A and B are shown apart, each in its own frame.
Chain A
């Protein structure tokens, strides 16, 4: 059955080719059927492969050679790997993709037909590319898939082509990931040149023999490439703006699969990183940084998709942290679980926002519990899993494994653990913030419910996984070659308490502001040392201040600079004028009443403008670069130089023709001059 492996991505590819190239008009039903079918088939094809694998057919490093191309210069061996790693990741990708596409069959059904066709074509191409990445056992297939998913990501983010914001967001994603890809390509090339083969196993086999001075740059470059794709600090800015795409796209590409490609790559090349400890440390640092910062920023988002985007960043930060600490199996387990609950969150959020007039503002979801109870509850379960509520959710198991790996990772383990646990607490806070808002009463409950089997089935399956999947975490870790860490009880308990604390914090955050006013009032007038008051005074208020400063980018210096630059560089060519790096993080175009509601009387917590200070600084830097550097190149100075040089001959002509006065005397003057010059020269030569 393992021989079926090469055919797993084929249906998706065929789906893409048929949908994109067939010069035949297809009806809406056919398009949906084709698109969904082509995405479901890989999952079905994968099942027997997985079964044969579970039966012991696959060991680490096993690969199915597909073809070997003698390109004259070298022999490119294309192969697909059939090892536990690819089984776990491949299974996750195939399953989540199938479910998301089933869902989108309903979600996107009202799009115009050509757009629908384009959507499914691209989604299928993406799936094929993603499966190529997942199953690749050689760098060629890997990079092919890697870039294909990058392109699909761009096209899908910019799916609503009429929205300039969407196109800009797509360009930003593509450019950012391309920068990272350049690093990756450089690393892979250097690795290839050192190892002399394109097969990953061959490359990894060559690692021990390699010079550490050569190994470190290779590992560093590859790590940067992977982190860029995974939207880790400092490449993270593209991910939040990528939410301009349709919700299923966000669910599949920008949460569950594509952004995790970096994690998969790092896991696959784990021996390389094991040999380069300083790079691993860097990776771990970036991972924890992203995890913490992402969680913090997610806390102050006003848009549910943005919130989920930052949450994705943060969760992948956890995975990267685990990878950096040398626990790829744990990272992969978290990847699988995260894929399930994050797509669940996106899909159910999509359902909820669908019923809220299409707005994805958190405030717009108020009352979703009563409008669409099943969607709300599945969102809540997903959020619980994301927060990692102990014991009952899958997220807890995988996150606990990560925390355990952190705890036991040597001398730095404890501080790192503390940071990670804080991040976990914030995770709980932001996840439940939405739940609490959506769960509260709202004035308008009239929105009709929306659903059907195409929506219910994916949600159901994903909910099931998000709850029960935790039981498989240990097995997963073991299957992919890791061993669960056993750590003391205290950190375990503290780790379990963190999400709960987070939920409490969320509860406080979404309390009505008037309540906060009341507390403040009491604080001023009642001299009572109540825990609650202290809590508010020291924690909530400070947090609000910090969040305001962080979030309200409009008031900061950086924002002022950015605005000024933006004004100046209107004419700056290239990047600046059309703003490829994305300008604003404003929410989806919400309907007026929601906006009004969102801003009315909700000061200042709700008015925390969603922002990303670090990302903003990066963008400002990029903009400065564009404004000052790239703009210089727009008028081709070399060309101008040449033209000036050529023009000087025109002037020379103007001057020279004045000598041709037309008067006999002057003409004769030149003859005399010539004679005199020749004579003087001859005289000079006759000197002895």
Chain B
């Protein structure tokens, strides 16, 4: 694996992150934002694995596992919040829940 390959993987990772960011910014539905977050998180995952492969270092995969943990925990909490908000606010539109401002 050459340096330029690594750069290519990193650009892909950044691309995934950027797409995730786009998703969060452009979407209103809570579910879609959570999905976009997952997309965004997959970027660093790819980055870690690629960098670990480049350096032949197991720590990259170790970090990937931690990212996975976070993704799981975050999705769980996020979905719980989604359900709760749907129950409380009666909507899954994130723009609706903007009571606090200023």
Residues of A participating in the B interface, judged by any CB pair closer than 8 Å: 657-658, 660-665, 668-669, 672, 675
Contacts and interface: CB of A to CB of B under 8 A. Distances in A.
A659 to B, nearest CB: 9
Given A662-B98, A664-B95, A668-B24, 11 more contacts: A657-B102, A661-B101, A662-B100, A662-B102, A664-B94, A664-B97, A665-B26, A665-B28, A668-B21, A668-B25, A675-B21
A144 to B, nearest CB: 66
13 contacts: A657-B101, A660-B102, A661-B101, A663-B95, A663-B98, A664-B24, A664-B33, A665-B24, A665-B25, A665-B27, A665-B94, A668-B21, A668-B25
B3 interface: no
Contacts of A664: 24, 33, 94-95, 97-98
Contacts of A660: 101-102
Interface residues of B, number: 15
Interface of B: 21, 24-28, 33, 94-95, 97-102
Nearest to A663: B98
A675 B99 CA distance: 26
Nearest to A657: B102
Instruction: Please classify the interface of chain B as helix (H, G, I), strand (E, B), loop, or mixed, using the class held by over half of its residues.
Output: loop
Contacts of A663: 94-95, 98
Contacts of A672: 21, 25
A657 B33 CA distance: 25
A678 to B, nearest CB: 13
Closest 7 CB pairs of A and B: A662-B101, A662-B98, A657-B102, A663-B98, A664-B94, A668-B24, A672-B21
Contacts of A675: 21
B3 to A, nearest CB: 15
B98 A669 contact: no
Contacts of A668: 21, 24-25
B99 A662 contact: yes
Contacts of B100: 662
A581 B26 CA distance: 75
A58 B6 CA distance: 115
Contacts of A661: 98, 101
Contacts of A662: 98-102
Nearest to A664: B94
B35 to A, nearest CB: 14
A669 B26 CA distance: 9
A10 B9 CA distance: 106
B13 to A, nearest CB: 13
Nearest to B95: A663
A661 B100 CA distance: 8
A45 B21 CA distance: 105
B102 A669 contact: no
B95 A665 contact: yes
Interface-central residue, A660, A662, A669, by most chain B CB under 10 Å: A662
B10 to A, nearest CB: 13
Contacts of B26: 665
Nearest to B21: A672
A663 B25 CA distance: 10
A188 to B, nearest CB: 66
Contacts of B102: 657-658, 660, 662
Given A662-B99, A664-B33, A669 B94 contact: no
Contacts of B94: 663-665
Nearest to B101: A662
B85 to A, nearest CB: 11
A669 B25 contact: yes
